């Protein structure tokens, strides 16, 4: 091959790690045809370095390429993007005055932000009917390339689209997607026709700020979802109804776990005694794991002078999300993260290579100024607590320490009977540090995942501003995945804080910093557990583990003696002493999601026994009280996920 021919080709990396040379300027679709004609014909879209792109996107040398067909997991995202266009077309058929802004796909469907039109739930049904007509018509969805000048002329009266053209749609040409004469500025990808959408449903209408900024104009946001078939849509809607029943805000109120009253401020939860009990048990579990793995507990204040945040890089990269305070003409910031405080603790003394790794942990409260419209129960708040850990290690210790962190994370996962999705999050657009440092850090995390045999996805651009990370998403009982644990590799903060240790060569060396959290944050993890277990917490987590039910006032004294025996053994127990029938007491116990109820009458009082009933409505009579107490203690110590006394 001549030098000219070599320059005319690029090499791409396929999902199995093999390489393929294609002509320079090739698209994702071209790559698919090179692999095989059938795959080329089936190509809907592609992924370049983990980012979903249209099939016409040009590949570059060294790009990691995945082909998306209608059998791919990503196909639903493409379909929902097209459903957003179906909605927008239907909206403008019925309300020509409506102005369109943006309409992306989401994890559960899509939304479109619009203005110049007032919509309510009744309007959504009418729009939905028009969407059905567009889907049934099966219009071709055509990609059209236009000049920037033509696009600006098309959107002469749409300030939002013009802003997108000015700020995001770089280049002299931009793409539109067109169906039945209607068009929308969009970079894709999309399915080939509206009929592929299959089934769509509009879910709700709400308010939203343009670009998510409270200083900008308020828009109308319409949420919807879409699937390839009516059966898939019906299954989703059924799960959505189940999710409403499991909503942590609803269960939190029913179980008196937490509240977020208006008077406290947005995103600032209050934990009631039952909720704090669950959080305390989670904290004790995390603290136990930390100490077993050689971590030392530290504590840092809630705010620092902004000099610290400037040194760490948070001031420049995180300023908009921070609460900044003026105190006696000095600027302070509530901490959005705990890591700068831990780095400062490390920096307060000298270290030898023999001292490393140093492992710090802290259940540290942090504060982030999320947009009010994005706040939602415990899933997104202003004030939350991270079960934070920071390790300062030699380069040769990186792999072993990351593997140890992953081991801790999976101990949490297995103890609670959860499933996790694993992903490698790479360098974001807004970051600190040079290319070489980032490439080294990302490759080391990739090697740990691959050597451990973990199935993982790539999340391009989702790393922290100081380093890449491995994210673990908790999958709940309804199949939803929530952000959870993380382990992050950081070569940048030690450099910014000029952290050092003395090496075996008697020279100063820079440690590497590892950030990790076993839960992610207590708030979001608490939310996940509430919804995953539907409030039926594992016995070791349950705010009230046992309730003693006396059949009559005559056995109330014995009921209290039983409760005392339980509490002396460390079991959280109460007596139901209201003047109710035993049937009503049992029903209330089930409504309160108790792991166990203990029924005591004259026979039990005389024999010194109890009748045990679990949350599954299994019951066992004539149980020796000491035997039951011993079992509960063992069940608690082993952190079992379900009551196990009755078989």
User: With 80 as the cut, is the pLDDT of residue 170 above it?
Assistant: no
**Residues whose CB falls within 8 Å of the CB of residue 331, separated by 6 or more in sequence, listed in order:** 305, 306, 324, 325
pLDDT (tens digit, 9 = 90+) per residue, 185-240? Answer: 999 999 999 999 999 999 999 998 998 888 899 999 999 999 999 999 999 999 99
Q: State the distance between the two ends of the chain, measured CA to CA, in whole angstroms.
A: 74
568: CATH: 3.40.50.800
What is the mean pLDDT of the segment spanning 548-564? 96
Instruction: Return the biggest CA–CA distance within the chain.
Output: 100
Q: Which helix (H) or strand (E) holds 250?
A: helix 248-254
Q: Say which CATH number the domain at 208 has.
A: 3.30.980.10
- Residue 32 located in a structural domain: yes
Token duo for residue 101: 């802004």
Q: Which residues are annotated as a binding site?
A: 339, 390, 515
314 domain-assigned: no
- Residues spanned by the domain of 599: 546-637
Q: What is the pLDDT of residue 3?
A: 46
What pTM, to 2 d.p., does this model score?
0.81
Both tokens of 213, joined, read: 């900024």
Report the alpha-carbon distance of residue 77 to residue 69 in Å, rounded.
12
Q: What is the DSSP letter of 190?
A: -
Whether 647 maps to a domain, the answer reads no
One domain for residues 488 and 412:
yes
369 and 416 part of one domain:
yes
Q: For residue 306, is it within any domain?
A: no
Structure tokens at 555: 């056995």
**Does the pLDDT at position 2 exceed 50?**
no
Domain termination site, one of 508, 533, 558: 533
Same domain for 200 and 170, yes or no, is yes
The helix (H) or strand (E) run that includes residue 486 is: strand 481-490
- The helix (H) or strand (E) run that includes residue 304 is strand 303-305
The pLDDT value given to residue 460: 85
Does residue 333 surpass a pLDDT of 80? yes
150 plus 29 within the same structural domain: no
- 74, 47 Cβ separation under 8 angstroms: yes
Beta-carbon contacts of residue 383 (< 8 Å; ≥ 6 apart): 267, 268, 269, 365, 366, 367
Element (H, E) at 287: helix 273-292
What would the pLDDT profile of 282-321 be if each residue is shown by its tens digit? 999 999 999 999 999 999 999 999 999 999 988 887 888 8
Residue 132: what are its φ and ψ, rounded to 5°? Answer: -60, -40
The Cα–Cα gap between 40 and 33 comes to 4
| Cβ neighbours of residue 299 closer than 8 Å, sequence gap 6 or more | 362, 364
Query: Are residues 141 and 33 part of one domain?
Result: no
What would the pLDDT profile of 605-636 be if each residue is shown by its tens digit? 999 999 999 999 999 999 999 999 999 999 99
Angle at which helices 625-637 and 556-568 cross, to 10° = 40
Evaluate whether 574 touches 608 at the Cβ level (below 8 Å). Answer: no
Residue 161 has pLDDT above 60, yes or no: yes
Q: How many C-beta neighbours within 10 Å does residue 83 have?
A: 33
118 secondary structure, DSSP code: -
217: nearest Cα among 114, 335, 336: 114
**Which of 68, 97, 119 delimits the end of a domain?**
68
Give me the pLDDT at residue 4, please.
45
Structure token pair of residue 471: 């994210």
Q: Cβ distance 183 to 144 under 8 Å?
A: yes
**What mean pLDDT comes out for the span 62-71?**
93
What is the Cα Rg of the chain in Å?
Answer: 29
Check if the beta carbon of residue 610 is closer than 8 Å to that of residue 562: yes
Examine the pLDDT at 353 and tell me if it is beyond 90: yes
Q: What phi and psi, each to the nearest 5 degrees, are found at residue 482?
A: -120, 145
Q: Give which of 181, 226, 205, 180 is closest to 112, Cα–Cα.
A: 205
State how many domains the chain has: 4
Q: Which two tokens stand for residue 314?
A: 């948070």
Q: Is residue 369 part of a domain?
A: yes
Binding-site annotation, residues for Zn(2+)? 339, 390, 515
* Residue 269 binned pLDDT confidence (cut-offs 50, 70, 90): very high
Q: What is d(CA 101, CA 113) in angstroms, rounded to the nearest whole number?
A: 6
Asked if residue 92 and residue 215 are part of one domain, the reply reads yes
How many residues are recorded in the chain? 647
* Token pair recorded at residue 94: 């019925």
Supply the mean pLDDT for the chain: 93
Q: Is 315 helix (H, G, I), strand (E, B) or coil?
A: helix
Query: How many Cα atoms within 13 Å fall on the side-chain side of residue 522?
Result: 27
Q: pLDDT at position 107, please?
A: 86
Same domain for 402 and 525, yes or no, is yes
| HEC string for 522-589 | HHHHHHHHHHHHCCCCCCCCCCCCEEEEECCHHHHHHHHHHHHHHHHCCCCEEECCCCCCHHHHHHHH
Alpha-carbon span 89 to 135, nearest angstrom: 11
User: CB within 8 A of 38, min separation 6: which ones?
Assistant: none
The dihedrals phi and psi of 646, each to the nearest 5 degrees, come to -100, 130
Q: pLDDT above 70 covers what percent of the chain?
A: 98
Q: What is the mean pLDDT of residues 361-376?
A: 87
Confirm whether 117 is domain-assigned.
yes
Show the DSSP H helices in 25-120 as ranges.
28-35, 37-42, 75-94
Q: Would 517 be classed as within a structural domain?
A: yes
Pairwise CA distance, residues 281 & 283, whole Å: 5
Residue 5 has pLDDT above 70, yes or no: no
| Residue 462 sits in the same domain as residue 555 | no
Residues 412, 480: one domain? Answer: yes
456 and 390 in a single domain? The answer is: yes
CATH code, domain carrying 44: 3.10.20.30
Closest C-alpha among 621, 606, 601 to residue 556? 601
DSSP SS3 for 337:
coil
Residue 36 has pLDDT above 70, yes or no: yes
Report the CATH number at residue 413: 3.30.930.10
Domain boundary among 37, 68, 99: 68
Decide: 14 and 4 in contact? Cβ < 8 Å: no
pLDDT score of 265 = 84
Residue in the structure block whose two tokens are 């116990």: 589
Does 60 lie in the same domain as 81? no
Q: Under a CB-based contact definition with an 8 Å cutoff, are residues 367 and 382 in contact? A: yes
Residues 475 and 508 in one domain: yes
CB 226 within 8 A of CB 194: no
Confidence at 483, pLDDT banded by 50, 70, 90 = confident
* Element holding 166 (H helix, E strand): helix 159-167
Token pair for residue 629? 């107490």
Collect contacts of 583-587 with beta carbons under 8 A, ≥24 apart.
Answer: 585/549, 586/549, 586/613
* Residue 262 domain-assigned (yes or no): no
């Amino acid at each position: 091959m001549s030098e000219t021919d070599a320059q005319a080709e690029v090499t791409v990396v396929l999902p199995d790690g093999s390489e393929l040379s294609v002509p320079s300027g090739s698209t994702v679709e071209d790559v698919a045809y090179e692999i095989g004609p059938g795959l080329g014909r089936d190509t809907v879209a592609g992924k370049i370095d983990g980012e979903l792109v249209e099939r016409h996107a040009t590949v570059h040398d060294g790009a990691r390429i995945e082909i998306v067909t209608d059998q791919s997991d990503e196909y639903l995202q493409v379909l929902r993007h097209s459903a957003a266009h179906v909605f927008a077309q239907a909206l403008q058929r019925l309300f020509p005055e409506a102005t369109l802004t943006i309409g992306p796909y989401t994890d559960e469907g899509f939304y479109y932000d619009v203005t110049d039109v007032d919509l309510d739930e009744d309007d959504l049904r009418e729009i939905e009917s028009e969407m059905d007509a567009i889907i049934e018509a099966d219009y071709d969805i055509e990609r059209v390339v236009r000049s920037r000048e033509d696009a600006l002329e098309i959107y002469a009266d749409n300030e939002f689209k013009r802003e997108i053209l000015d700020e995001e749609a770089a280049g002299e040409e931009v793409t539109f997607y067109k169906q039945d004469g209607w068009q929308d500025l969009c970079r894709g990808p999309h399915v080939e026709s509206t009929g592929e959408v299959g089934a769509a449903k509009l879910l709700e209408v709400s308010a939203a700020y343009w670009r998510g900024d409270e200083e900008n104009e308020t828009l109308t946001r319409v949420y919807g979802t879409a699937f390839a078939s009516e059966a898939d849509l019906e299954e989703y809607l059924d799960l959505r109804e189940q999710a409403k029943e499991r909503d942590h805000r609803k269960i939190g109120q029913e179980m008196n776990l937490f509240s977020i009253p208006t008077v406290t401020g947005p995103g600032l939860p209050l934990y009631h005694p039952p909720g704090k009990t669950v959080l305390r048990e989670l904290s004790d579990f995390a603290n136990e794991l930390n100490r077993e793995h050689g971590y030392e507990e530290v504590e840092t204040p809630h705010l620092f002078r902004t000099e610290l945040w400037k040194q760490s890089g948070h001031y420049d990269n995180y300023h908009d999300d921070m609460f900044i305070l003026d105190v006696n003409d000095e600027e302070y910031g509530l901490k959005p993260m705990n890591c700068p405080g831990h780095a400062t603790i490390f920096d307060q003394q000298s270290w030898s290579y023999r001292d490393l790794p140093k492992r710090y942990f802290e259940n540290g409260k942090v504060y982030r100024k999320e947009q009010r419209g994005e706040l939602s129960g415990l899933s997104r708040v202003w004030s939350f607590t991270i079960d934070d850990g920071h390790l300062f290690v030699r380069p040769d210790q990186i792999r072993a320490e990351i593997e140890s962190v992953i081991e801790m994370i999976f101990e949490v996962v297995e103890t609670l009977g959860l499933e996790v999705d694993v992903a490698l999050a790479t360098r974001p657009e807004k970051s600190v540090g040079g290319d070489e440092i980032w490439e080294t850090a990302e490759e080391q995390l990739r090697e740990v995942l691959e050597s451990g045999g973990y199935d993982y996805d790539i999340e391009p651009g989702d790393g922290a501003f100081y380093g890449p990370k491995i994210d673990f998403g908790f999958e709940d009982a309804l199949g939803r995945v929530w952000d959870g644990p993380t382990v992050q590799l950081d070569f940048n903060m030690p450099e910014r804080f000029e952290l050092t240790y003395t090496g075996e060569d008697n020279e100063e060396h820079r440690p590497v910093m590892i950030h990790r959290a076993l839960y992610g944050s207590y708030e979001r993890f608490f939310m996940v557990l509430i919804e995953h277990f539907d409030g039926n917490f594992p016995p070791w987590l349950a705010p009230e583990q046992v309730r003693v039910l006396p059949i009559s006032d005559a056995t109330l004294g014995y009921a209290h003696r039983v409760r005392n025996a339980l509490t002396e053994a460390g079991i959280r127990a109460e007596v139901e002493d209201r003047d109710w029938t035993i049937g009503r007491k049992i029903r209330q116990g089930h409504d309160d999601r108790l792991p166990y109820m203990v029924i005591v009458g004259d026979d039990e009082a005389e024999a010194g026994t109890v009748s045990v009933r679990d949350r599954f409505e299994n019951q066992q009579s004539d149980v020796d009280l000491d035997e039951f107490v011993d079992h509960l203690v063992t069940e608690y110590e082993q952190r079992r996920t379900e009551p196990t006394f009755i078989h």
